[in-house]
Amino acid sequence: MIRSSRNPLLILACVILLGVTVFASAQSLDTLAVGSSSGLPGQGGYSFSIHLINATTIKGLVFNLKDLPDSLKITDVALTALSAGFRVDTVSVGGAMKFMMIPVDGASSLFSPDSGAILDITVNVDANAVGGTFATVSLDSVVVADVGNQSVSPVLVDGRFWFGQKGDVVYNAAVDLFDVLRMIDIAIQRPPVPTEYEQWAGDINEDGLIDVVDIGLAMDMAVSFVTTSSNPVVSDASQTMGSVRIDMPSLPDDFIGSTELPVYIKSSAPVSGLQLVFDIDQEKYQIQPPKTTALAHNMRLVSKIAKNKLTLLLASTDGTMIPMGEGQILSLPVTVKDRTVESGPIKIENALAGTEKAGKLEAYFGQSTLDNSTVPESFALYQNSPNPFNMSTTIFYDVPNVNSGEANITLAIYNTQGQLVRTLVNQKKQPGKYSALWNGTDESGHIISTGVYFYRLTTGNVVITKKLAVLK
């Protein structure tokens, strides 16, 4: 803990150090530096170090730290292995914090020529500190004495304490999709010119660049919910630049086995990236890594499943975007292990979507393929996906308003001879948009052979037929 300077030993040491000769070589190779660090406003437990790089054997030193009263409050000061033979005393003087380091045993406790941290200083960050900026932590009033009680004039190096964290480029107390998208723009030199904070936060591996390595690290951090709060923070852009609907069909209640659930988007603007969280009961469902489709072939996909949550992030490291419109972007391989286990369906729990210039798209998500708030104008049958398929495929169809309020819908699979293979739907439907999953089996539950098949929507005098292919 911080010690008071009100003791005779400290006063005596001050007299010794301050009384040394002030004439020293201007070409000294000795350096005293503040190490840079970071932390979030209103939080504590962060630390930075004081480093000594010395060619001279040093007996003791006194120095002040500036800029601390405004933004950082020291809560602890600890000696390091390099300074184990010393004691440190501190006192607040004129708005600055004064440190004095003197040897416990003047005969043997010396800083021999070496380099490394000599103090670790723990601080709390003031809640009023401005996130996404930094404070310069400077040294002044430095007095360094060698073994002959002669003054040494070290080079002084300031440090920066950043109010943020690595990877959190847009500063929202989390690493998420929008940090990744901004880093991509910086890497490919899209305007605007990055701020100093963005350059620091985006250079995760601290090699002086923001490149594909840093972007990959940020993507891994995003799917791991790297955040300093108990709950992931959702980016809150002041203005959205469009919207996107993300949908995934539900598995039938009686389905057991393996399939690939498609994930679809319908966007009003180009999509530069997506971050999705799925709620998945791992006791009931076995999940394999998600796959991208041709629509997202230029995108990099990272995912992680833990504690019944599958989190994935999809973004292009070269800035290529998914064009506006609709289509399938992902497939989620899943195996239903046990229908006796009571649990909910696989569902999208949260979604973030970005567009050009790291802009935000308002993201909507659900279990249907399109926004159900809009009633279809006519009956429609859409191309199944995936097609061809070898495990399962999803068929989508629309039901408009009809005079009776409900429509008798039949959706069935036929072979090329016109023989019925499987009836997927045979019931009344309210107006809306629907999907049906087919796992490639006939009415008896037998797997059908490879070939071309037809699926037909029938209601009243409306008949719509499309073709699909099965590969086994």
For 353-381, how does the pLDDT look when each residue is reduced to its tens digit (9 = 90+)? 998 877 888 888 876 533 444 567 889 99
Q: What percent of the chain has pLDDT over 90?
A: 44
- Same domain, residue pair 310 and 354: yes
* Residue ending a domain, choose from 317, 342, 366: 366
- Domain of 416, in residue numbers: 380-470
* Residue ending a domain, choose from 316, 339, 366: 366
Band (pLDDT 50/70/90 cuts) for residue 325 is: confident
Q: What is the pLDDT of residue 254?
A: 67
Least confident of 87-101, 145-159, 182-196, 231-245: 231-245
- Same domain, residue pair 413 and 300: no
- Same domain, residue pair 318 and 405: no
222 part of a folded domain: no
- Same domain, residue pair 352 and 423: no
251 part of a folded domain: yes
CATH number of 422's domain: 2.60.40.4070
**What letter represents residue 65's amino acid?**
L
- Same domain, residue pair 351 and 393: no
Task: Say how many domains are in the chain.
Answer: 3
In what helix (H) or strand (E) does residue 127 lie, and over which residues does it extend? none
Secondary structure of residue 295 in the 3-state scheme: helix
Q: What is the pLDDT of residue 71?
A: 86
- Report the alpha-carbon distance of residue 205 to residue 201 in Å, rounded: 10
What is the pLDDT averaged over residues 455-471?
A: 93
Between helix 177-187 and helix 212-223 the angle, nearest 10°, is 180
195 part of a folded domain: no
82 part of a folded domain: yes
345 part of a folded domain: yes
218 part of a folded domain: no
Q: Supply the pTM of this predicted model.
A: 0.66
- Same domain, residue pair 357 and 386: no
Least confident of 226-235, 302-311, 327-336: 226-235
- Same domain, residue pair 132 and 24: yes
Least confident of 123-137, 141-155, 236-250, 407-421: 236-250
- Same domain, residue pair 359 and 384: no
What is the pLDDT averaged over residues 156-181?
A: 92
| Cα 138 from chain centroid (whole Å) | 32
- Same domain, residue pair 306 and 417: no
Check pLDDT > 70 for residue 22: no
What is the pLDDT averaged over residues 335-363?
A: 81
- Report the alpha-carbon distance of residue 94 to residue 417 in Å, rounded: 95
- Same domain, residue pair 12 and 132: yes
Q: What is the pLDDT of residue 435?
A: 80
* Averaged pLDDT of the chain: 83
Q: What is the pLDDT of residue 471?
A: 86
Band (pLDDT 50/70/90 cuts) for residue 80 is: very high
- Same domain, residue pair 426 and 303: no
Six-digit token string for 325: 């419109």
- Same domain, residue pair 387 and 286: no
178 part of a folded domain: no
* Residue ending a domain, choose from 129, 163, 197: 163
CB within 8 Å of 347: residues ≥ 6 apart: 248, 250, 278, 279, 367
